[in-house]
Structure 1
Amino acid sequence: MKKAFLSTLYTALAAGTLLTPSLSTAAGDPVKKAIGDESPGGRRVVKTNAEWKKILTPEQYYILREHGTERAFTSPLNDNHAHGTFVCAACKNPLFASDTKFDSGTGWPSFFKPIAKDAVKEKVDKAYGMVRTEILCSVCDGHLGHVFDDGPKPTGLRYCMNGDAMLFDKK
């Protein structure tokens, strides 16, 4: 048994698959870590699709793991104006402070900056014949939404997030 374990361990190490944080998406596209070089405290959450399906709602799984988008104006978080923190629905990583949220008129919760530089990371998204900047959770690589350069001061950015990809921690 020990020999089989060591053989499996050696094979995984040689293939570079053992405990290696994902630096690519399911499509194999590299993740651009432009906002933060590391996840908060080096924390990573890696699960199989089956494990994610057990802990996420079908809507959360579709958005976070399959890079889906909810319909505009359907998330209760779009109209949430309470004081607190928006966290990743998959791993509870703090993402955005309520004082950075603004009404963009798009129907999705929008923010002008993440709560910390290392809270999210960017990836070039070339889906649907467009080039956009996708925003991922830096801890679990969950798809959150996209960032655009038409936001308010002080950053000029609009982090357009899927409400089902987040939970709200009221303070």
Structure 2
Amino acid sequence: MDTTQKINRTEEEWKSMLTPQQYHVLREKGTDAPFTGKLTYNKDKGTYYCAACGNELFTSDMKFDSSCGWPSFDKEIAGGKIKTARDLSHGMVRTEIMCAKCGSHLGHLFDDGPTSTGLRYCVNSTSLEFKKEQK
């Protein structure tokens, strides 16, 4: 069940709110270069949010080291936080993942994860903000 309140902004509004890199990845479906993202190697406990709208997406307990070059998660926070679509770009068939609240591009979902879910949410660091757990 989708419990997310939708955000509708014009592309000009997004451009004024996001950095050029964030706009490219989140709104134009760009991709971070592998092994370069600020959150790829993050091991801190906390929560990952959509960088465009602050929608809560993943927790650190869902993150694993996939060695693929991007932050990887084996599931999402429940409640319809992420939506998917078939992506036929670049000569491949993939499942795109987007923030259900604002529609921003997050990355792709693969069925090759090593945990019990069998899933790997491969997410651009640029698409995420991280808030460290307060002790």
What TM bracket, shorter-length normalisation?
over 0.9
1:45 aligns with 2:40: no
Equivalent residue number for residue 89 of structure 2 = 127
Contact 1:112 1:156 in 2 (8 A): yes
The structure with the largest alpha-carbon Rg is: 1
Task: Specify which structure has the bigger relative contact order, considering alpha-carbon pairs within 8 angstroms and separated by 6 or more residues.
Answer: 2
Q: Which runs of 4+ in 1 moved over 6 A?
A: none
1:60 aligns with 2:22: yes
5+ residue gaps in structure 2? Answer: none
Deviation at 1:163, TM superposition (A): 0.3
Separation in structure 2 between the aligned mates of residue 45 and residue 78 of structure 1, nearest angstrom: 27
TM (normalized to structure 1)? Answer: 0.76
For residues 1-171 of structure 1, the aligned pairs below 5 Å read 37-40=1-4, 43-171=5-133
TM (normalized to structure 2)? Answer: 0.95
Relative to structure 1, the CA distance from residue 159 to residue 166 in structure 2 (aligned partners, 3 Å threshold; closer, same or farther) is same
Contact 1:64 1:143 in 2 (8 A): yes
Give 1 or 2: higher helix fraction: 1
Give 1 or 2: higher strand fraction: 2
Separation in structure 2 between the aligned mates of residue 106 and residue 68 of structure 1, nearest angstrom: 17
1:40-59 Cα shifts (integer Å, max 9, x gaps): 2xx11111111001111111
Separation in structure 1 between the aligned mates of residue 77 and residue 109 of structure 2, nearest angstrom: 14
Identity %: 53
Contact 1:150 1:156 in 2 (8 A): yes
